């Protein structure tokens, strides 16, 4: 769970070419508004100091997520938890695990802080730095017990497919960060994206798995209910890291 000992490239939106030009990178998300509701503001004020890792902290060469959790424990990584409905429910039943949630939408983080607090879970930390960059530069190979990617943005327009998270490059990176036997759990309500996920993940030599029955521990979230309301098929997948 310690940081990766290597020279880090700049965080996304900060990359500079050798001739000094700034380059805008292709990201898997779009940043949304930052205005809080009163309830979100109250949760942010109460919990962000202890549970939200400042972006600037990751630039410290000695940065370690374990420092922010205050212990060494098996690590679960969730990418894109939104308002934390699944995060709160799953973390509360896993007190022996640390749950690291990557979410760039700060009102979502604020709402999730309140949900996790209400669930009595103290084992979640949020990071608003790009998740792909963080897995590459801040998490060591074989350091993640489980990876959760529930309903990532499908970027359904063909010209936006390059922004999807589940690509061969990311699959290779994610697989390398899992412990042997560690699970990558995914869910999507976009059938075409589910097909792409299967194609990509089946081709990754460090992973084995496929489409599974709905994970019964994953709570039915507001987002999932919306998908079901318009007759979208929900697809759950689980892949596990095999020995290299």
The set of catalytic residues is 153
Q: Is 78 annotated as ligand-binding?
A: yes
Q: Is 149 annotated as ligand-binding?
A: no
Q: Is 85 annotated as ligand-binding?
A: no
Q: Is 118 annotated as ligand-binding?
A: no
> Which tokens go with 85?
């409905």
Q: Is 224 annotated as ligand-binding?
A: yes
Backbone phi and psi for residue 178, each to the nearest 5 degrees, phi listed first: -75, 145
Q: Is 130 annotated as ligand-binding?
A: yes
Q: Is 19 annotated as ligand-binding?
A: no
Q: Do 16 and 22 form a contact (C-beta atoms < 8 A)?
A: yes
For residue 206, which of 167, 165, 174, 164 has the smallest C-alpha distance?
A: 174
Q: Is 14 annotated as ligand-binding?
A: no
**C-alpha pair distances (Å), 33 with each of 84, 104, 216:** 17, 10, 33
Which residues, 6 or more positions from 96, have their beta carbon under 8 angstroms from its beta carbon?
73, 74
Q: Is 157 annotated as ligand-binding?
A: yes
Q: Is 231 annotated as ligand-binding?
A: no
Q: Which of 96-135 are b and which e, b meaning 16 or more Cβ less than 10 Å from the residue's Cβ?
A: ebbbbbbbbbbbbbbbbbbbbbebebbbbbbbbbbbbbbb
Annotated binding residues for S-adenosyl-L-methionine? 78, 103, 130, 153
Annotated binding residues for substrate? 157, 189, 221-224
Annotated binding residues? 78, 103, 130, 153, 157, 189, 221-224
């Amino acid at each position: 769970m310690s940081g990766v000992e290597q020279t880090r490239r700049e965080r996304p939106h900060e990359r500079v070419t050798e001739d000094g030009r700034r380059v805008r990178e292709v990201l898997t998300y779009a940043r949304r508004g930052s205005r809080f509701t009163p309830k979100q503001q109250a949760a942010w004020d109460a919990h962000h100091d202890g549970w939200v890792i400042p972006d600037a902290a990751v630039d410290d060469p000695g940065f370690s997520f374990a420092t922010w959790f205050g212990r060494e424990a098996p690590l679960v990584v969730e990418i894109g938890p939104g308002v934390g409905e699944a995060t709160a429910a799953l973390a509360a039943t896993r007190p022996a695990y640390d749950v690291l949630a990557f979410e760039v939408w700060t009102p979502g983080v604020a709402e999730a802080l309140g949900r996790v607090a209400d669930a009595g879970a103290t084992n979640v930390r949020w990071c608003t730095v790009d998740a792909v960059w963080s897995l590459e530069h801040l998490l060591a190979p074989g350091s993640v017990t489980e990876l959760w990617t529930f309903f990532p943005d499908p970027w359904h327009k063909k010209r936006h497919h390059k922004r999807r998270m589940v690509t061969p490059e990311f699959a290779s990176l994610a697989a390398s960060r899992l412990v042997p036997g560690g699970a990558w759990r995914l869910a999507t309500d976009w059938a075409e994206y589910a097909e792409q996920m299967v194609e990509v993940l089946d081709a990754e030599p460090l992973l084995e798995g496929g489409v599974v029955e709905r994970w019964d521990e994953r709570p039915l979230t507001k987002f999932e209910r919306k998908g079901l309301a318009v007759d979208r098929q929900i697809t759950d997948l689980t892949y596990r890291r095999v020995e290299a």
